[in-house]
Structure 1
Amino acid sequence: MENTAPQLFKITFDGIEIEVPPGTTIMQAARTLGPHYAPPAMCYYEPLKGTGGKCRACLVKVAAGSAKDPRPMPKLVPSCITTVQDGMVVENTTNESVLETRRGIVEFLLINHPLDCPVCDQAGECHLQDFAFEHGRVTTRYEEERRTFDRHDIGPYVQLHMNRCILCYRCVYTADQITDKRVHGVLNRGDHAEISTYIEKAIDNDFSGNVIDVCPVGALTDKTFRFKNRVWFSKPVDAHCDCEKCSGNVTLWYRGDEVIRVTARKNEWGEVKEFICNTCRFERKKTSDWTIEGPTKISRHSVIMANKYRADLKKPEFGLKVAAAQYKQIDDSRPYVTDGSTIRELSKENNVKANQRSLAENN
């Protein structure tokens, strides 16, 4: 009997050999290995067709193009839109040029993005925060003034903070693919480019709230949730209801006994698989409207897990990596003093020296 099994391509990603079907992108192949291996993504959104290739956060080094042509690609390539070839060798975190480029990408994304995390409703589930934490720099080389825009409502439930927008185009693709008629998009060009509605029209279709879920930063916010709570103080639970417009599968966010917001369910990559309607999102804010399934599974490294850690869970690997990278061996040959009187005398001497240094600096 003839073998009808599909041909698989073998690729090596950060030294790990995997097999994927033809037509798979490098990003999709990397995601089969897990979150610790996949490149970051700020514009790519797998459920939305055509996304990717705009933010350059997922650049990787192709050290060998294929088994037939093992020459390396001359430049870094975006993994979200580059398809794999049989025998391809990809370097992600193992290549220093990739990591250095990502530090530059973070710096570029933060050129106009304001550092208002303390007052932003997206704080705690912001992809740009995660990206900056993993690959960002402490300082910036940018000296010019940031561009600024006025906040304005683009619908009865959505407010636009254009200052925070990184022009990932996710909201545009969402409106294109799940609504009947898109009324917003990217206007103007260059440094003046912005997300806006056409001739001040309002986004008022039944699925307009999904642009909030797909936004990786706090540019599009839920007006019914604004400034109500911090995400790490809330408790997410999975719930569903019978809805004639959508699947009705949602995540309810509780503060005490109150449902403070409703969002679509997201996978481990922070992507919505089933978009929900505005009725479920904005109008059903009572527990009696839903059938509760149980607590939402949250990655332990997420800030949403704050004050919810369990002793039987494994410690997050990124924390151990940071501790190992910042660990410094101290060569201290001073004697270990345990005598109380000696410790008091040394403390007095140190205080005198500190006061002398302070007086010298003031003078």
Structure 2
Amino acid sequence: MIKVTIDGIVTEVPEGTTILQAARQIGGEIVPPAMCYYSTLKNSGGKCRACLVKVAAGSAKDPRPMPKLVPSCITMAQDGMVVENITNPSVLETRKGVVEFLLLNHPLDCPICDQAGECDLQNFAYEHGMSKTRYEEERRTFEPIDIGDKIKLHMNRCILCYRCTYVADQLTDNRVHGVLNRGDHAEISTYIEKAIDNDYSGNMIDVCPVGALTDKTFRFKSRVWFTKPLDAHRDCPKCSGKVVLWTKGEDVLRVTARKDQYGEVKEFICNECRYDHKDMKHWVVEGPRHIDRGSVIAQNHYEKIDLLKLKQDVERQLKFQAGKQLDANNTLSA
């Protein structure tokens, strides 16, 4: 085990843990945002630069700071490492630049995008972005296309995080899509005359952090905050069968895999569960899905309060604030 200090909070993690994973072990506000990293997908991370942090001390053996900001998702933590995330002004300023680059070609179509309300880029831009853009050139544009019988691709919204290609590589053995061309001409597309039809293709929609890949069976049916998410399961021979039912009354509008607090799927589901069982009688409903209070999906969403979890969240927040105050006092003393 090694000890790492992130924004004044010390945590102990196994050797081989990345800075981002160490921050997630602490939780709260100090966790860097991630647009391309996905813990359940091998080789993901290191592309969007959203998770850049400052390493103020490399390790106990070599306490020199790293000269540049480093991506926390692929940088291994060292014993005695000191990391600055939200306490470092240069990190926060850099994130504004990262948001600006991600939005250079991204259309402002949140009012009509099915991903609105559960979009990682929307949250990232709200927390770190600017109110206006300096970009004056013409944005690149693509026509929406069908890359499968149930998947619509809006390449205008894509940020080239590569998550969908990793899902296809690691869940199936017949990937037929990928990143074509280079530079500002790069785009996600299928190979000539190919359509995505494997049994786990719907997971591409779940891992997409923006509205580039959408479910054609759910498009324009309802805003996500008007639906009621329910945890449910069924006996499925192909996958775990553990899903979230997005319902309106007794109607199941869509079925998705369950995501953790960082928006990552731990157990991928098959297309049969996703598309072929949109009837409440096919499922064993476990209860309301827990939704973070800061999410717009929490509107009109009621569930029993987990007092233990609430106490842990408050204690973590108080510990974080105490660490910030200690840093401020040390700075003034110096």
TM-score by length of 2: 0.90
Tell me what 1:132 maps to: 125
Tell me what 1:114 maps to: 107
State the Cα deviation string for residues 175-196 of structure 1 (Å, max 9, x = none): 0000121100000001110000
Runs of 4+ with deviation above 2 angstroms: 307-314
CA distance in 1, matches of 2:296, 2:27: 19
CA distance in 2, matches of 1:189, 1:103: 25
CA distance in 2, matches of 1:141, 1:95: 24
- Secondary structure at the counterpart of residue 273 of structure 2: helix
CA distance in 2, matches of 1:62, 1:136: 23
Which of 175, 186, 196 is equivalent to 1:203?
Answer: 196
User: How many angstroms does 1:309 deviate by?
Assistant: 5.9
- Secondary structure at the counterpart of residue 32 of structure 1: helix
Gaps of 5+ in 2: 315-334
Amino acid at match of 1:73: M
Q: Residues 198 and 310 of structure 1: is their aligned pair in 2 closer, same or farther, counting only changes over 3 Å?
A: closer
Tell me what 1:156 maps to: 149
Q: Give yes or no for contact 1:107–1:136 (8 Å, CA) kept in 2.
A: yes
Which of 38, 52, 65 is equivalent to 2:31?
Answer: 38
- Secondary structure at the counterpart of residue 281 of structure 1: helix
Tell me what 2:41 maps to: 48
Amino acid at match of 2:27: G
Amino acid at match of 2:220: F
Q: Give yes or no for contact 1:239–1:252 (8 Å, CA) kept in 2.
A: yes
Query: Is residue 288 of structure 2 the alignment partner of residue 288 of structure 1?
Result: no
User: How many angstroms does 1:140 deviate by?
Assistant: 1.1
Tell me what 1:193 maps to: 186
User: How many angstroms does 1:124 deviate by?
Assistant: 0.3
Matches within 5 A, 1:208-287: 208-287=201-280
- Secondary structure at the counterpart of residue 253 of structure 2: strand
Matches within 5 A, 1:36-115: 36-115=29-108
User: How many angstroms does 1:311 deviate by?
Assistant: 11
- Secondary structure at the counterpart of residue 133 of structure 1: helix
User: How many angstroms does 1:35 deviate by?
Assistant: 3.6
Matches within 5 A, 1:321-360: none
Q: Give yes or no for contact 1:60–1:91 (8 Å, CA) kept in 2.
A: yes
CA distance in 1, matches of 2:157, 2:104: 10
Q: Which of the pair has the greater relative contact order for Cα pairs under 8 Å at 6+ separation?
A: 2
Deviates more, 1:289-298 or 1:162-171: 289-298
CA distance in 2, matches of 1:300, 1:181: 40
State the Cα deviation string for residues 49-76 of structure 1 (Å, max 9, x = none): 1000000000000000001111100000
- Secondary structure at the counterpart of residue 10 of structure 1: strand
Aligned length: 310
CA distance in 2, matches of 1:283, 1:267: 24
Matches within 5 A, 1:3-22: 8-22=1-15
CA distance in 2, matches of 1:67, 1:204: 51
User: How many angstroms does 1:310 deviate by?
Assistant: 7.7
State the Cα deviation string for residues 111-148 of structure 1 (Å, max 9, x = none): 00001000000000000010001100011111101000
User: How many angstroms does 1:40 deviate by?
Assistant: 0.1
- Secondary structure at the counterpart of residue 36 of structure 1: helix
Tell me what 1:338 maps to: none
Gaps of 5+ in 1: 1-7, 318-363
CA distance in 2, matches of 1:304, 1:45: 22
State the Cα deviation string for residues 19-71 of structure 1 (Å, max 9, x = none): 11110000000001114221000000000010000000000000000011111
Q: Give yes or no for contact 1:300–1:309 (8 Å, CA) kept in 2.
A: no
User: How many angstroms does 1:200 deviate by?
Assistant: 3.2
